[in-house]
Amino acid sequence: MAGAGLLAIGAQAQPKPEWTPIFQQINNEVLAHSNAYNSLKEASTTIGHRLTGSENGKKAEDFAFNLLKSYGFTDVKYQPFEVESWSRKTISVSVGSSLKSLQPVKAVTLAHSPVKASVKGELVDMGNGLEADYLAAPGKVKGKIAFVYLGILPGGGEKLQNLHRSEKTALATKYGAKGIVIYNTADGGILLTGTASVTGKLIPIPAVCIGKEDGFRIKETLKSGKQFVDINMTNFSGLIKARNVIARIPGKTKPNEKVVVGGHLDSWDLATGALDNGIGSFSVLDMARTFKALNLQPERSVEFVMFMGEEEGLLGSKAYLQQGLADKSLDQVVYMLNYDMTNDPKGYSATTDESKELFQSIGAIAKGIDTSFTNIFRSGAGLHSDHQPFMLYGIPTGGAAGGRLPNNGGPCYHADCDDFKLVDDMGMRNTVRFNAMLTYALADVPVIPARRLNDEETRELMIKSNLKEPLTIAGEWRWKD
């Protein structure tokens, strides 16, 4: 009987005949009338960066709200939240062979560093900044300043699993460092920003990033003698108000089941955040426009969500989850699709393989419309974007796969070169049309094959996905071993 039940579910998860003409309508609408590129251009020009809690952040929230209203949404709302947030003020970093011979080095403060810090001391090379590096040299960094690479050093072990900058900072703190200098992986002196906190709250030590070339120069110098560093910084930290922006299309027959389609609207303040995450969030806004333009109403409800505060610790998506837990609306969420730096996708992705058959059947229709969509499928669980809070509650998550950033924009991730000139119009249109198709079908299929995991199943998935260590470092491993 169990086998018969699985066959019944499989049959209900097959494509509907009416999806093909609907997908064709989506394709034609987006190719002819997409506003993703132009609306991002307007926002980049008139607002600039979209830092959460700043005046620019508020303008971005209003921009998204008004844009959704202009598309015909009547059920659009702000979801306000208040959290402790952070912004940078001043920074200076100097390095030399003694405290009397320091030379300035171009640097940027990593988010959630202390409000004020002035530290001097010996700079200690801790390699990749992984736990193994500290265990191999007990006490080496205590009372000193850790010097670590953002990635995995050449020849440092191809099988090593890298950690997020915040997790590397947490390890430096754990082993007694009084500061950390992280050097970037991108060429050309590009500086990377982003949070150095695993909790979204202030860290006890100053954390800075310097360029790749300066980093490897200092690393070479450390081989022949000691190096010292002087770090001075001031920052702001305090309660800020921000708002997620939510637009809803009610389901035709299952309004109390919903698919959440999200992307983070906020950005860092070094540039306009065109790639991170303008291309993702403004594509989601255009998916919403497409649904309205075509009067699409699948069986389940769809919520298009612009999250704020992702860059500072997934603040907006965590606020969404907390409110959903409080009012029980989280029980309605059957799937979460996340679009973070998505561009020109060639397929779909999901946390697990349960969605593979459905997603590839959806993709096969898309490929029949345009063969540039090769219909790849990727599965796997990862962290550090707005799907994470949903995933940790067992909710199936997914999105696009197989794309790449336009105009060699990868090195500008979290950097001062992340400007609108990097954006590709067609890449955004491809995100919109193929993922509007996915969204519609996922909300319309009789039975979604990926089910919500219970707490123990979620724990096992995290272990299987090698996420226990980073979640433990972040203080988000809630299970007892």
> 360: domain CATH number?
3.40.630.10
Q: How far apart are CA 195 and CA 222, in angstroms?
A: 27
Residues 26/433, Cβ–Cβ less than 8 Å: yes
Region of 231 (left: φ > 0; alpha: ψ -120 to 50; beta: rest) is beta
pLDDT at 6 over 80: no
Decide if 477 is inside a domain.
no
Any idea what the CATH number is for the domain that residue 215 is in?
A: 3.50.30.30
> What pLDDT is attached to residue 9?
53
Same domain membership, residue 98 and residue 71: no
pLDDT band of residue 5 (cuts 50, 70, 90) is very low
**Average pLDDT estimate for 243-254:** 98
SS3 10: helix
Q: How far apart are CA 10 and CA 29, in angstroms?
A: 31
Decide if 464 is inside a domain.
no
Helices 36-46 & 279-293, crossing angle to 10 degrees? 130
Same domain membership, residue 369 and residue 296: yes
Taken in order 205, 386, 281, 365, the sign of the CA dihedral is positive
Q: What is the pLDDT of residues 184-227, one digit of tens each?
A: 999 999 999 999 999 888 999 999 999 999 999 999 999 999 99
Decide if 476 is inside a domain.
no
> What pLDDT is attached to residue 1?
44
Choice between 1 and 396, residue whose per-residue pLDDT is larger = 396
Decide if 306 is inside a domain.
yes
Q: What is the pLDDT of residues 225-235, one digit of tens each?
A: 999 999 999 99
Q: How far apart are CA 437 and CA 31, in angstroms?
A: 13
Same domain membership, residue 328 and residue 411: yes
> What pLDDT is attached to residue 7?
47
Region of 307 (left: φ > 0; alpha: ψ -120 to 50; beta: rest) is beta
Same domain membership, residue 324 and residue 221: no
pLDDT at 156 over 80: no
Q: What is the 3-state secondary structure (H, E, C) of 32-67?
A: HHCCHHHHHHHHHHHCCCCCCCCHHHHHHHHHHHHH
Same domain membership, residue 68 and residue 146: no
Q: How far apart are CA 296 and CA 438, in angstroms?
A: 13
Decide if 242 is inside a domain.
no
User: Which residues, 6 or more positions from 319, have their beta carbon under 8 angstroms from its beta carbon?
Assistant: 79, 81, 83, 244, 309
Decide if 244 is inside a domain.
no
The candidate with the shortest Cα–Cα distance to 87, out of 107, 50, 60, 112, is 112
The candidate with the shortest Cα–Cα distance to 247, out of 280, 275, 281, is 281
Range of the domain at 130: 89-234
The candidate with the shortest Cα–Cα distance to 437, out of 377, 342, 373, 341, is 373
pLDDT band of residue 442 (cuts 50, 70, 90) is very high
Residues 354/8, Cβ–Cβ less than 8 Å: no
Burial of 408 per CB tally in 10 Å (0-12, 13-18, 19+): exposed
**Average pLDDT estimate for 70-95:** 95
Q: What is the mean pLDDT of the chain?
A: 95
Q: Supply 52's token pair.
A: 């959460």
Same domain membership, residue 151 and residue 282: no
Taken in order 457, 463, 465, 467, the sign of the CA dihedral is positive
pLDDT at 396 over 80: yes
Residues 161/194, Cβ–Cβ less than 8 Å: no
pLDDT at 414 over 90: yes
User: Which residues, 6 or more positions from 154, have their beta carbon under 8 angstroms from its beta carbon?
Assistant: none
Decide if 469 is inside a domain.
no
Same domain membership, residue 408 and residue 266: yes
**Average pLDDT estimate for 19-26:** 98
pLDDT at 237 over 60: yes
Choice between 159 and 207, residue whose per-residue pLDDT is larger = 207
Same domain membership, residue 61 and residue 26: yes
Same domain membership, residue 97 and residue 70: no
pLDDT band of residue 11 (cuts 50, 70, 90) is low
At 98, the amino acid letter reads S
> What pLDDT is attached to residue 85?
82
Choice between 393 and 85, residue whose per-residue pLDDT is larger = 393
Q: How far apart are CA 345 and CA 364, in angstroms?
A: 14
Q: Supply 353's token pair.
A: 């393989």
Residues 110/165, Cβ–Cβ less than 8 Å: yes
Q: Supply 201's token pair.
A: 């709250």
SS3 93: strand
Q: Phi, psi at residue 406, to the nearest 5°?
A: -75, 155
Cis bond upstream, residue 407 (ω within 30): no
Q: What is the pLDDT of residues 299-341, one digit of tens each?
A: 999 999 999 999 998 999 999 999 999 999 999 999 999 999 9
Cα dist. 55→62, 110, 308 in Å?
Answer: 11, 21, 13
Number of domains in the chain: 2
> What pLDDT is attached to residue 2?
45
Burial of 196 per CB tally in 10 Å (0-12, 13-18, 19+): buried
Same domain membership, residue 392 and residue 259: yes
Q: Supply 418's token pair.
A: 């992340």
Decide if 302 is inside a domain.
yes
**Average pLDDT estimate for 355-384:** 98
Cα dist. 45→85, 162, 231 in Å?
Answer: 25, 36, 34
Same domain membership, residue 259 and residue 400: yes
pLDDT at 3 over 70: no
Tokens 């010097």 -> residue: 147
Helices 55-70 & 279-293, crossing angle to 10 degrees? 20
**Average pLDDT estimate for 406-431:** 96
Same domain membership, residue 102 and residue 25: no
> What pLDDT is attached to residue 200?
83
